[in-house]
Amino acid sequence: MRTLSKYSIGIGDRFAHQGIAQLKAVQKACEMGVLITPVWNKSFREHQVIGSDPFATRQEADDAVQRLNWQDDYFVDADHINLSNVDYFIDSSDFFTIDVADYIGKPAADADVRDFVEKHKKYVGNLQLPDLDTTLAISEQQIRTVAEKYLFAAQEAKKIYDRIASQKETVAFVIEVSMDETDEPQTPLELFFILAALASRNVPLQTIAPKFSGRFNKGVDYVGDLQQFRLEFEQDVAVLQLAVREFGLSDNLKLSIHSGSDKFSIYPIMREVIRTFDAGLHLKTAGTTWLEEIIGLAEAGGPALAIAKDIYRASLEKAEELCTPYASVIDIDTAKLPLIEEVNNWDSSAFVNALRHDINNPRYNPHFRQLLHVGYKVAAGMGRIYLSALRDNKKVIAKNVTENIFERHIKPLFI
């Protein structure tokens, strides 16, 4: 296995053109004395929509690393994989995000549930969380309930891990387990026994992505109770540290925050907690770079601005098709979307101000931003027209990409 550094960031890139600009942001942190490992992540769904393949992501990462002479570790993540698509990523990836959300709630064998409960009955009572004035009250029935809900998912994670390991016998890699795309958040107690189940099956995870309360909508800020998030995040960090000691998991086990880009209101909370606990963190971003491409095109003006407007027009026309796959992670009020006739009259500044995530700008429109976030399929359909625009306006786009990742994401969390 390879060891992921304390801090890491998933830098998704829909069209595989911004690898250098993304890595420059990470380099800036390194120059300030903070090592953050870059992880280029892209899901099977994104590859299918774009018409790309994992090898292109590997090429993008390798090229950026070579051209910028990056001397530290980096990874390419097979994001949200399962048994049906893991083989697609085997050759190109060295980081695998095993998504077990679809297996949660499916029953494990009765004998397996009984064995799990028997093995972990020693935790019945009050379990003290490290460095917190907090205990988890645990009953035998609660352990059974967690096993009935999550044990099958842990068993499936093991199958997927074994599939990866069997084909990468001589290549080291990192394992993440994700369960964020579910209806209900996992409690700290549930997370503790989920980790127990994964450890008992020798799944060597280094990061885990639970679901938290509140909304983690794509491309916009967190929506929810900040104090509740603080409580959950703090207790989950403590649970991970306890699980490392109790179950022999990796010493660098850390939380992974999915749909983590642009969650500006919770960054100060996470920063404070990880510093208090001396804990690591993996922040996973994806569409924020794609949106910076559109912002860059709009800033460039002329034909590039026209392309940005065309993408919005087509996204508005195909809104239902584009939004349906992301229904659980977007909240768009169509009444607040600007009419295409209005957008057609916008200059560069008006378009950028509506799209750039700046809540202090009165023209910022989170509904406009969310629609364009899921509108990358439209750009993919443009083929060479869009890709040529990226190349022709490379300088202005790259500036936006680097500044966005460093100033709005890395600095508030890690520096």
DSSP secondary structure of 387-403: HHHHHHTHHHHHHHHHH
- pLDDT tens by residue, 355-399: 999 999 999 999 999 999 999 999 999 999 999 999 999 999 999
**Residue at 120 is within a domain:** no
**Residue at 131 is within a domain:** no
Cβ proximity of 414 and 34 under 8 Å = yes
Annotated binding site: 80, 218, 258
**Residue at 127 is within a domain:** no
**Residue at 262 is within a domain:** yes
Cβ proximity of 393 and 296 under 8 Å = yes
Annotated binding site for a divalent metal cation: 80, 218, 258
For residue 1, is pLDDT > 90? no
3-state secondary structure of 155: helix
Residue 348 DSSP code: H
pLDDT of residue 357: 98
Q: Is 160 exposed, middle or buried (0-12, 13-18, 19+ CB in 10 A)?
A: buried
- pLDDT tens by residue, 317-338: 999 999 999 998 999 999 999 9
**Residue at 130 is within a domain:** no
- pLDDT tens by residue, 4-50: 999 999 999 999 999 999 999 999 999 999 999 999 999 999 999 99
For residue 161, is pLDDT > 80? yes
**CA 240 – CA 252 distance, rounded (Å):** 10
Residue 167 DSSP code: H
pLDDT of residue 120: 98
**CA 366 – CA 223 distance, rounded (Å):** 12
**Residue at 378 is within a domain:** yes
Q: How far is CA 329 from CA 58, 167, 220, 221, in A?
A: 27, 33, 10, 12
Q: Judge if pTM exceeds 0.85.
A: yes
**CA 245 – CA 8 distance, rounded (Å):** 22
pLDDT of residue 316: 98
- pLDDT tens by residue, 82-136: 999 999 999 999 999 999 999 999 999 999 999 999 999 999 999 999 999 999 9
**Residue at 116 is within a domain:** no
pLDDT-derived band at 170 (thresholds 50, 70, 90) equals: confident
pLDDT of residue 286: 87
**Residue at 134 is within a domain:** no
Helix or strand holding residue 205 (H, E) = strand 205-209
Q: How big is the CA angle at 168 (ends 259 and 49), to the nearest 5 degrees? A: 40
Residue 293 structural domain? 1-109+144-415
Active site residues: 79, 176
CATH code, 255: 3.20.20.70
**CA 107 – CA 153 distance, rounded (Å):** 9
Q: Is 203 left (phi over 0), alpha (psi -120 to 50) or beta?
A: beta
Lookup: tokens for 40: 């280029």
**CA-CA-CA-CA torsion sign (73, 78, 80, 81):** negative
**CA 124 – CA 117 distance, rounded (Å):** 10
- pLDDT tens by residue, 193-231: 999 999 999 999 999 999 999 999 999 999 999 999 999
- pLDDT tens by residue, 243-302: 999 999 999 999 999 999 999 999 999 999 999 999 999 999 989 999 999 999 999 999
* Domains contained in the chain, number: 1
